[in-house]
Chains A and B, each alone.
Chain A
Amino acid sequence: MGGYIPSTVLQQEEMLKEAGFSSMKDLYRDVPEALKLQKELNLPKGMSELETARTMRRLAGKNKVYDSVFRGAGAYRHYIPAIVKSVVNKEEFVTAYTPYQAEISQGVLQSIFEYQTMICELTGMDVANASVYDGAVAAAEAISMCRTPKKKKVFVSAGIHPDTLKVIRTYSWAASEEVVVLPLKDGLTDLSGLDSEASCVYVQQPNYYGVIEDLKDIAEKAHALGLQVIAGMEPFAMCLLETPAECGVDIAVGEGQPLGMPLSFGGPYLGFMAATTKMMRKLPGRIVGETEDTEGRRAFVLTLQAREQHIRREKASSNICSNEALCAMTAAVYLAAMGPEGMKNAASQCYAKAHYLAAELEKSGLKRCFEADFFNEFVTECADPEGLLARLDEKGILGGLPVENGILWCATELNSKEEIDALVKEVSA
């Protein structure tokens, strides 16, 4: 119906005439007739805003929103403070372009600089970039940072998210690189297959099954073989467990969705990347740096652009252009609202609630599959996952995710004791 075109038909005619055209059709005089679409598009007629709003509300109503969620597996429901949406819905932030024009983009540039600082603080690493598409792509991009012409092999743990493994396989296939999967032993990555022929090893902390890996030990063993170490980190876990920097990791990446982004059926999410200073110039994508303007005032700019596609073209460190800037800002506002104590508290609550849930489920006969400690997810055995999950569904509860041999459960600070007890009651029923 509308195309958000402000010029009236009369104005359009004036403009056509002024610019020397006889009609709208005349504007396309350079397009060969044979290539022009000879029919109307097979699309419905345009709608008014009211009709569009109704249609979309009807479609949204066909999806089930659960009161209580015990499923994570790469997408986590946390409480989102009101200030987060209020800030990131500001029209200036929503509608701005990538901040190439620094003089009129200090707001976006400073927000990215602050985000980079917070990611450095979470991971303990030296430098961070302005974001990539999601945690899986962050892992694949980190692997390409380690690639050398001689070493075209990478190790990845079988304990990483299955989607991340798929993305790594796809990116590595494109780069003619071999991906060797290290198996799990009792839920932990088995390092006995490591050798010095690969460029790096990628592990996830906590791993896909929730288990806390001995990241320090992994880093030591891998470094002894000359491999770089990449860890895919859960952001809350980093506030409680030893940081990737403390463990000696070279590149820390991860999925930033838990930091203030809703589940959103999978996106937009946020891939964060942080590294040691040594790896700085290999980082993909935008990086904001501090400098001065001609009057000596502090100013922020996109920097180290000699790595990027618009300067280096086929020699760039990555092809990435648009990233997830507004999601990075979301994470920054979330972290500012939570503060250091709030983040440590939330992380401890995730840990404590998951452990309470695990203990209660065990009492109801769902035994944990792995002995090693876990963060906010764990796997239990279950004889009839489908039946159990269907029963929970009827009560408005999204239960854990069925995985091989059982169910992968998740608890966050959002799951109250009351909710957990209600879940356990259904499991026991």
Chain B
Amino acid sequence: MKTLFERSVKGRSCAILPELDVPACLPERTRKQALRLPELSETDISRHYTELAGQTFGVNDGFYPLGSCTMKYNPKINEQTAALEGFADVHPLQDNVQGCLEVLATAEKYLCEITGMDAMTFQPAAGAHGELTGLMLIKRYHELHGNTARNKIIVPDSAHGTNPASSAMCGFTVVNIPSAEDGCVDLAKLREACGEDTAGLMLTNPNTLGIFDKHIREITDIVHEAGGLCYYDGANLNAVMGIARPGDMGFDCIHLNLHKSFSTPHGGGGPGSGPVGCKSFLAPYLPGKKVVCEDGRYAWQDRGPESIGAVRSFHGNFLVVIKAFTYLLSLGREGVPAVAQNAVLNANYLKHLLEGTYEVTNKGVCMHEFVLTLEREKKEIGVSAMDIAKALQDYDMHPPTMYFPLNVHEALMVEPTETESKETLDAAAAAFLEIYAKAKADPEAMHHTPYNSPITRPDEVKAARHPVLRYQFDD
């Protein structure tokens, strides 16, 4: 379809602003470079984006079992409350914001209760931003305790790519440790890796294979005994919220993905929100200001000289916090564990329906997600995880996460979430099984999937070798 620039007609415009009602004036030196924005009517714009929406697959379009991404349904009431003028039209540097401060203080209280932490900041704007912030707390802690040699962060090979990348940004050296046979942390390898240079450990529990690490207390103890701190990547909190708390597992700080566990939409790649929680001994290092309450009046308070400073301007992605807070109010104390239980139930049910046809890496109980490996099929009939994923697009569903975690070959990572019904899961399982049968019968045809999408598979090599990153004008 055409781009906005190809739809542009010289001289066309929307009538948005009134005429200038004060004397005109101009600065001394002005822009000479052309400003080639598209010239369009409102009809053009409306139809353009309606067409683009038709080539976009959202949670409202169908099943979205993207492992590690927790693509649950995004309740509409959350959008409505975040759009309230009393939240959306408030300046970040104004007074008279008791409502905003009350939301921040209460959301902090609820999320600390759910995670077993003592304090929280909402400044980080996404999960990876939260990771960086959490690692900065660890860095500050060691710095203020004279532990200058503690510059290594231990990361298991099953971790999200953001974990090592955040560690590097925070000036740490990354120590990758291989997982044990069962996909969990190899305690012997962890003991070997821990030492006087250990700053901390980053861990996701349940891990990216969907397994709850039974030895979690032992793991955090090993790190603590070596003098390191433990960071909990909250990407998979949906499996255990209301059931078990990172704070009770021995973690010192965590980040949450409000755009995963707490139902705020992903927006095609953000905005998210990645609040960071910590135990009280790390609280003075948190960035940004904190909200305090005295005699029912809320106020901002500086965190003091030990704070790491700021990781974003103002108070973070506030309207995303509004959405998550609305969701928390809807769930309440009984809803939070019900979400986790049903997320785990749906994953185990779907896993059960696929087992026997597909190879599942986790033979036992899984948590909120599980991983399939197409290693055998790739070897025997040449059908890859990518082929299966692309084929699923023709069944009105979004494919699972592909080629992750890295410690599984030809991986497909499936996370159904709790907001899908038994009927949806049954239909998805039927699609998976039908595709498998087709792959066996005609492997060659699988390489050309999908057949019904707006485009066939794009040439990614060409895109990277000859980058065209903006519209090219003729003139």
Cβ of A5 to closest chain B Cβ, rounded Å: 5
- Choose one: B89, B103, B165, B270; the contact of A131 (CB below 8 Å): B270
Q: Does B244 contact A (CB under 8 A)?
A: yes
A333 touches B49 (CB 8 A): yes
- Whether B183 is near chain A, meaning CB under 8 Å from some CB there, is no
B144, CB-defined interface residue at 8 Å: no
B68-113 at interface with A (beta carbon < 8 Å): 69, 71-75, 77, 79-81, 84-100, 102-103, 110, 113
Query: Which residues of chain A come closer than 8 Å to B36, judged between CB atoms?
Result: 121, 340
B223: interface (CB < 8 Å) = no
| Cα of A133 to Cα of B287 in the assembled complex, Å | 16
Given known A-B contacts A63-B97, A266-B318, A319-B166, A42 and B333 have beta carbons under 8 A apart: yes
Q: A47-B330, A57-B84, A61-B86 are in contact. Are A340 and B470 (CB under 8 A)?
A: no
Interface centre among A118, A239, A265 (most CB of B within 10 A): A265
Does B154 belong to the interface (CB within 8 Å)?
no
At the interface, yes or no: B211 with Cβ under 8 Å from chain A?
yes
Q: Does B243 contact A5, Cβ atoms closer than 8 Å?
A: no
A338 touches B248 (CB 8 A): no
Interface membership of B408, Cβ < 8 A: no
Asked if B357 is at the interface (CB within 8 A of a chain A CB), the reply is no
Contact for A267 among B318, B329, B333, B457, CB less than 8 A: B318
- Residues on A with C-beta less than 8 A from B167 are 314
Residue of B nearest to A344 (CB): B35
Give CA–CA (A398, B36) in the complex, Å: 35
Q: In this assembly, does A349 line the interface, its C-beta being within 8 Å of a C-beta of chain B? A: yes
Is A46 located at the chain interface by the 8 A CB criterion?
Answer: yes
Complex CA gap A166/B330 in Å reads 36
A340 near B217: Cβ-Cβ < 8 Å:
no
Cβ of B398 and Cβ of A97 under 8 Å apart?
yes
Q: Is the CB of B398 within 8 A of A163?
A: no
Contact residues in A for B97 (Cβ distance below 8 Å): 62-64, 265
In the bound assembly, the distance between CA atoms of A338 and B40 in angstroms comes to 9
**A residues 396-429 in Cβ contact with B at 8 Å:** 398, 401, 413, 416-418, 420
Given contacts A79-B16, A319-B169, contact A166 B77 (CB under 8 A): no
- A46 contacts B61, CB within 8 Å? no
Partner of A321, one of B31, B127, B267: B127
Among A133, A265, A348, contact of B87 (Cβ-Cβ < 8 Å): A265
Q: When the two chains form their complex, are residues A46 and B91 in contact, meaning their CB atoms are under 8 A apart?
A: no
Annotate A285-327 by CB proximity to B: 1 below 8 A, 0 otherwise. Answer: 0111111111101011101111011111111101111111111
**Size of interface on B: residues with Cβ below 8 Å to A:** 194
B305 at the A interface (CB under 8 A)? no
Q: Which of A168-176, A191-199, A218-226, A362-370 contacts B (4 or more CB under 8 A)?
A: A168-176
Q: Are the C-beta atoms of A83 and B460 separated by less than 8 Å?
A: no
Q: How far is the CA of A343 from the CA of B22 in the complex (A)?
A: 18
Q: Are A75 and B93 in contact (CB under 8 A)?
A: yes
A49-B330, A166-B309 known; A313+B314 contact, CB < 8 A: no
Residues of A within 8 A of B28 (CB): 373
When the two chains form their complex, are residues B35 and A239 in contact, meaning their CB atoms are under 8 A apart?
A: yes
**The one of A3, A87, A355 that contacts B49, using a Cβ cutoff of 8 Å:** A87
Please state if B467 and A137 are interface contacts (CB–CB under 8 Å). no
| A56 near B79: Cβ-Cβ < 8 Å | no
**Residues 78-101 of A at the B interface (beta carbon under 8 Å):** 79, 81, 83, 86-87, 89-101
Residues of A within 8 A of B454 (CB): 103-104, 106
Which of A19, A59, A167 neighbours the largest number of chain B CB atoms within 10 Å of its CB? A59
Q: A59 contacts which of B77, B99, B365, B425 (Cβ < 8 Å)? A: B99
Q: Do residues A301 and B268 form an inter-chain contact, with CB atoms below 8 A?
A: no
Given A62-B102, A107-B53, A175 and B266 touching (CB < 8 A)?
Answer: no
Determine the chain A residues whose CB is within 8 A of the CB of B214 once the complex forms: 30-32
Check: B379 CB closer than 8 A to any chain A CB. Answer: no
Question: Which A116-134 residues have C-beta < 8 A from chain B?
Answer: 116-118, 120-122, 124, 127-128, 130-131, 133-134
Is there contact, CB below 8 Å, between A97 and B66? Answer: yes
- State whether A63 touches B268 (Cβ < 8 A): no
Q: Which residue of A lies closest to B397 (CB)?
A: A104
Query: How many angstroms from the CA of A268 to the CA of B339 in the assembled complex?
Result: 26
Question: How far, in Å, is B337 (CB) from chain A's closest CB?
Answer: 7
User: In the complex the two chains form, what is the Cα distance from A163 to B309 in whole Å?
Assistant: 9
Chain A residues with Cβ below 8 Å from B32 are 242, 246
Docked Cα-Cα span, A99 to B54, in Å, equals 14
Q: Given known contacts A263-B91, A310-B404, what 13 new A-B pairs fall within 8 Å (CB)?
A: A4-B330, A83-B45, A90-B50, A106-B55, A107-B56, A117-B470, A267-B319, A268-B319, A291-B468, A303-B460, A308-B161, A309-B162, A314-B174
Q: 13 pairs across A/B with beta carbons < 8 Å?
A: A6-B421, A31-B212, A36-B243, A42-B113, A87-B45, A105-B56, A108-B52, A137-B312, A266-B313, A267-B317, A291-B462, A301-B463, A325-B269
